[in-house]
Structure 1
Amino acid sequence: MNNCSLYTLLSKYGDYQQKTAGEDIFSYGDSAAKVYLIIKGLIRVFIQDQHKKEKEVARLSSEDILGELALLGAKEYSSRATAYEDSILIEFSSENFRQLLSKQTILNEKIITSLCSKIDLLQRPIIEFTDLISSSKEESNSQDTTDEKIVKEEIDSFSNFYLDGHCKYLEVAGEDFEYYLYDKSVNCPICSTRIEVKEIRNSRLRLKETRDDLRPIYKHFRPDWYKIWICPKCFYTASKDDFFDLTTSRKRKIKEEFKAKVQSILGDNYQPTYSNPRKLNEVFDAYYLAIESYNLMGSSKEKFAYLWLKLSWLYEDVDEEELAKKASFKAMENLREFYFKEHHSKLSNSKNNKITLLLSFLFYKHGLKDEALPLLDTLIRNHQIKRSYKEMARDKFIEIREEKRRAKEENQV
């Protein structure tokens, strides 16, 4: 049965609902009497911790099931589901949905998959925290309740700075890196301190290839090690392209709050610096400091997207596949937020095309093929686009369609 026929059948048992972006489908404590099938759009699902702080645990799109705990006899919803963008759903009573389960085996599979996924998401943070506390207890057999609280606070602080799993990396910049660099003195726009920075001699770079995620690979050099500037006095950190792009209010906020915030996380003795030759640990810290700086200033989601993207590349280079995936996912989420929510009509056509292409590739990388296809189609039909971008978009579009065709044939078998 194709989707059209299936939706026609489903609509006999339920009612179509339209939700605008930002509108809740249900919230904490609401009566768990309804089950939803998402037809179109994107739904965000949140839970609350013991302090009523919300955490996003899932993003659901077309053909996903929502509110299925109502089928298990739950009286109230323990989560909040809200439309991330304009969405269409079919709403069922739990009784009508049970009747459908006996008629459509595909719905049984969706329910099982959805429940397993949510159980895994809900258990994972609890397991990880329990393991961390247990290992801390093994290291010291005389901890009391106060000590456990300190351990938890330390874990929370550092996990809010680095991605969970981040560690120390021993790699150091190669001696040949100096060939591509020159020294430059600039004044920090926050505290006016004269600082020494490294600039890249672009004329000496030799491009080997450009990957699907638009990462340029150069011979003998990694430019991303030198993309972030830091003031060692006030700790102000930003991409060199944004370093002087500050409003008066942002300058004041960094000057008054940033250094104290960083030291509250990394310790009073922490000092951001670059060695010569530069160490990879310092490069990682610079990117994470830039993220904290942009957070404090309320920068555009596009800025965060590129920081996380470059962090994913750094993790790739040291074979940290899981961390690379996490950073890449954050890049995708921030770029999607920018693309669909933030105002970017003032972007040049070239930059808009680049962002569209990058977002489509990130969608594909993280399994969101149906979200990638319309973006790729837009690029293919665009007459004002670089030839290389159009070719990349066309190749990826064909690849996705072929993958979907093979998957459909396999399911029919």
Structure 2
Amino acid sequence: MSQNPLLWDKKYTCPICGTVSPSKKVFIDKIRVKDYDEDLKPNYEGINPMLYSVITCPHCYYSALEPEFEQKVSPIYMDEIKKVQSELKVPQNIVFSAERDHITAILTYALATLFYKAKKQPCKVAEMYLRMGWLYREISNTENELKALAHALVSFEDCFTNSYVDAEKEPMILFYLGELSFRLGKFEDTKKWFSMLVNNYRNSTSFYAKAGKDRWQSIKDQLK
């Protein structure tokens, strides 16, 4: 099978078990965003880099976003990580280092949610569920998309309520609290979160603050 010219192999060392293995990356100059959905999901021309954003160790299945995968994990989380690994049931025929279809990619995000939960990172868990929802959308699996987005909403609420959130990241979190509440029919929460975003970040240069202002106006028009 010929090598996809849009992809290249990079080797990663698993911080949990020490296994060195390759994983595919998209050449950065080959990434083309065509447009965005209303919830700011990017739609790509050609190859979707989200399919390759999570690195999964083929030996112990530890998974994390590519920039963080090789980072040392604090010993205080190791028992939880080992517990997750002892309970995993991953199909033996899945090859994480090969070209990925949507189902394989979704599995890597599902694994990453377990390990981010083990490391007490609800903001990352929320992001993983959000991307899972987006990947389900791309294969028209609406039922699982909504399930993933519902999990994302719960995790974003946990992130906002129980984690330290810096001012730079807060507009993104408020945007998705409002957007996901709307998609899941929680209109009072939609109003609460978007109002907070628009009022607290009225003069912000944040992409999410600007997008949130437009999105909130659009949603208000729909709710009339």
Do both proteins adopt the same fold according to a TM-score greater than 0.5, normalized to the shorter chain?
yes
Question: Which of residues 169, 174, 179 is equivalent to 1:351?
Answer: 169
Q: Tell me the equivalent position of 2:106.
A: 284
Residue type at the aligned position of 1:396: R
Q: Tell me the equivalent position of 1:237.
A: 63
Relative to the length of structure 2, the TM-score reads: 0.85
Residue type at the aligned position of 1:376: F
Once residues 240 and 275 of structure 1 are traced to their aligned partners in structure 2, the CA distance between those partners, rounded to angstroms, is 13
Alpha-carbon RMSD across the aligned residues, in angstroms, is 2.5
Residue type at the aligned position of 2:164: H
Q: Tell me the equivalent position of 1:31.
A: none
Aligned residues of 2:23 and 2:96 also touching (Cα < 8 A): no
Aligned residues of 2:171 and 2:209 also touching (Cα < 8 A): no
Aligned residues of 1:232 and 1:271 also touching (Cα < 8 A): no
Tell me, what secondary structure is at the counterpart of 2:154?
A: helix
Query: Which residues of structure 1 form unaligned runs of 5+?
Result: 1-174, 406-413
The range that moved more, 310-319 or 285-294, is 285-294
Question: Which of residues 157, 161, 178 is equivalent to 1:336?
Answer: 157
Q: Tell me the equivalent position of 2:77.
A: 250
Aligned residues of 1:206 and 1:218 also touching (Cα < 8 A): yes
Aligned residues of 1:235 and 1:258 also touching (Cα < 8 A): no
Aligned length: 221
Once residues 97 and 53 of structure 2 are traced to their aligned partners in structure 1, the CA distance between those partners, rounded to angstroms, is 15
- Which structure's CA Rg is the greater one? 1
Aligned residues of 1:232 and 1:272 also touching (Cα < 8 A): no
Q: CA deviation at 1:323?
A: 1.1
Query: Which residues of structure 2 form unaligned runs of 5+?
Result: none
Once residues 183 and 36 of structure 2 are traced to their aligned partners in structure 1, the CA distance between those partners, rounded to angstroms, is 16
1:367 aligns with 2:189: no
Q: CA deviation at 1:283?
A: 1.9
Question: Which of residues 41, 44, 51 is equivalent to 1:225?
Answer: 51
> CA distance change for structure 1 residues 388 and 234 in 2, over 3 Å: closer, same or farther?
closer
Q: CA deviation at 1:332?
A: 1.0
> CA distance change for structure 1 residues 397 and 284 in 2, over 3 Å: closer, same or farther?
closer
Q: CA deviation at 1:353?
A: 1.0
1:199 aligns with 2:19: no
1:135-172 superposed Cα distances (whole Å, 9 cap, x missing partner) = xxxxxxxxxxxxxxxxxxxxxxxxxxxxxxxxxxxxxx
> CA distance change for structure 1 residues 198 and 252 in 2, over 3 Å: closer, same or farther?
farther
> CA distance change for structure 1 residues 357 and 319 in 2, over 3 Å: closer, same or farther?
same
Q: CA deviation at 1:387?
A: 6.1
Q: CA deviation at 1:325?
A: 1.0
Relative to the length of structure 1, the TM-score reads: 0.49
Residue type at the aligned position of 1:342: N
Larger RCO, structures 1/2 (Cα 8 Å, 6+ apart): 2
Q: How does 1:2-401 map to 2 (within 5 A)?
A: 178-245=4-71, 246-251=73-78, 253-254=80-81, 256-262=82-88, 265-266=89-90, 270=92, 273-274=95-96, 276-295=98-117, 297-339=118-160, 341-345=161-165, 347=166, 349-381=167-199, 382-386=201-205, 388-401=207-220
Q: CA deviation at 1:327?
A: 0.9
Q: CA deviation at 1:202?
A: 2.6
Tell me, what secondary structure is at the counterpart of 2:67?
A: coil
Once residues 385 and 358 of structure 1 are traced to their aligned partners in structure 2, the CA distance between those partners, rounded to angstroms, is 17
Aligned residues of 1:353 and 1:385 also touching (Cα < 8 A): no
Aligned residues of 2:52 and 2:100 also touching (Cα < 8 A): no
Query: Equivalent pairs: percent with the same residue?
Result: 22
Residue type at the aligned position of 1:273: V
